[in-house]
Amino acid sequence: MGIATRPAPTGPADTADRQAATLADRFRTTRALTLDLTAPLSDADATIQSMEDASPAKWHLAHTSWFFETFLLRDHLDGYRLFDGKYPYLFNSYYEAEGQRIARFSRGMLSRPSLEEIVAFRRAVDAAMEPLLEREDCAPLIQLGIAHEQQHQELLLTDIKHALFQNPLGPAMFGRLTETAHHAADGWIDHQGGIARIGHDCGTDRFCFDCEGPRHRVLLEPFRLSRRLVSNADWQAFIDDGGYRTPSLWLSDGWAWVQREGVTAPLYWHGDEQFTLAGWQPRDPQAPVTHISYYEADAFASWAQSRLPTEAEWEVAAIRADPSAGQQMDRAEAVQPAATPELFGSCWQWTRSAYLPHPGFTAADGAVGEYNGKFMSGQFVLKGASCATARGHSRASYRNFFYPHQRWQFTGLRLAQDI
């Protein structure tokens, strides 16, 4: 997930409550939720790193605080002194402009500072931020910091899920799953095609990441988009029909990946169960399938005599949809996708579109400009939101992106067809 932006002073007005919330309120609420998400974790839980794609929970806690300390407190608060002069090396992520940093694959070696010390760092940053929360000149960066932290809340959940999955005991982070609804409708959403406008004019009255803009025209052929997400039951039928054993369904790179990795099912599946943030649970056949790669999504679409939608098709279909609807994260609990009729929520949906710049795109100035443009190579766009996305964070123009083999996120698919 990229975090660079050309931000606007105010955030998404998805509900009346969010419209009423001040920037300071949203800062405090977001920071508190991150701590709530880690409350069930021991220091050992929060330290482990299960793979290079993931980061330890306490690194997420520290990195999001480093962001506010570096780009706001250090640069905008007179007389501010760093909490610890060694922390920038430990908790910088990819900012070349901010100097050297620990290698990503070594983040799990940080047994110290302890979880308690990192929480103290967070609280010190929060207290120091108070004078800046009402300053108009700081509002764009504060808004960016909030959106950045919401992205890391989702990464924190998916990263710790992957870490706990490695434990043969199948430990639960939370006591029980969230209740899920089942009222997704079959059928298709038809679109006549034609010239449409997608993207976002970053710099209007709503926040967006710079990669979402500028707004521009696209030409669409007539298409249809499935009203529901592909379910676990659908995926089981794909498996039973030999989907993972039929090379004609797969892209060449995808088939090589299946053979090399021995993939026979979505990540976290075993028998009739799947691993969740509440430990091993019976798999709900009606719930959307998640934790699949782009390669798997594309192969399933071929098997279903359909295809993946393009980014533009998905965005045009969702332009009037409520981005804060559906199964998304409201509080610290064991999130899980649910079958709903909404375009947003439950899982990020793979598109067949490469993550490339929109026409006229330019990266934001300064260090924050490093996080989107430089990743526009070899990745695919996902749209929507997942059950681990903070409600109110996403929108139709939002561009999530991952490499085609990655599947530890809540990634799924919605089918498309030409008409």
User: DSSP per residue over 139-166, as a string?
Assistant: HHHHHHHHHHHHHHHHHHHHHHHHHHHT
Nearest to 228 by CA among 183, 178, 192: 183
Nearest to 303 by CA among 245, 222, 384: 245
Q: What is the pLDDT of residue 363?
A: 82
Banded model confidence at residue 14, pLDDT cuts 50, 70, 90:
very low
Tell me what the mean pLDDT of segment 153-166 comes to: 98
Torsions phi, psi for 183 (to 5 deg): -150, 40
Residue 37 one-letter amino acid: L
Banded model confidence at residue 205, pLDDT cuts 50, 70, 90:
low
Look at phi and psi of residue 349 and say left if phi exceeds 0, alpha if psi is from -120 to 50, else beta. Answer: beta
Residue 32: which residues within 8 A CB-CB, separation 6 or more?
none
Residue owning tokens 């409708």: 185
Residue 33 has pLDDT above 60, yes or no: yes
Tell me what the mean pLDDT of segment 195-204 comes to: 86
Residues of the chain with pLDDT > 90, as a percent, come to 85
Q: What is the pLDDT of residue 10?
A: 35
- Of 97-106, 187-196, 200-209, 367-376, minimum mean pLDDT range: 367-376
Tell me what the mean pLDDT of segment 326-336 comes to: 94
Computed over every residue of the chain, the mean pLDDT equals 92
Q: What is the pLDDT of residue 78?
A: 95
Distance between CA atoms of residues 112 and 92, nearest Å:
16
CATH 3.90.1580.10 is held by the domain 188-418? yes
Q: What is the pLDDT of residue 401?
A: 97
Tell me what the mean pLDDT of segment 302-330 comes to: 96
Q: What is the pLDDT of residue 13?
A: 40
353-408: per-residue pLDDT in tens? 999 999 999 887 777 676 677 888 999 999 999 999 999 999 999 999 999 999 99
The structural domains of the chain, with segments of one domain joined by +, span: 16-165, 188-418
Burial class (CB in 10 A: 0-12, 13-18, 19+), 227: middle
Residue 11 has pLDDT above 80, yes or no: no
Residue 50 has pLDDT above 70, yes or no: yes
217-227: per-residue pLDDT in tens? 999 999 999 99
Banded model confidence at residue 203, pLDDT cuts 50, 70, 90:
low
- Of 72-86, 172-186, 243-257, minimum mean pLDDT range: 172-186
Q: What is the pLDDT of residue 284?
A: 94
Residue 402 one-letter amino acid: F
Tell me what the mean pLDDT of segment 51-66 comes to: 97
Residue 307 has pLDDT above 90, yes or no: yes
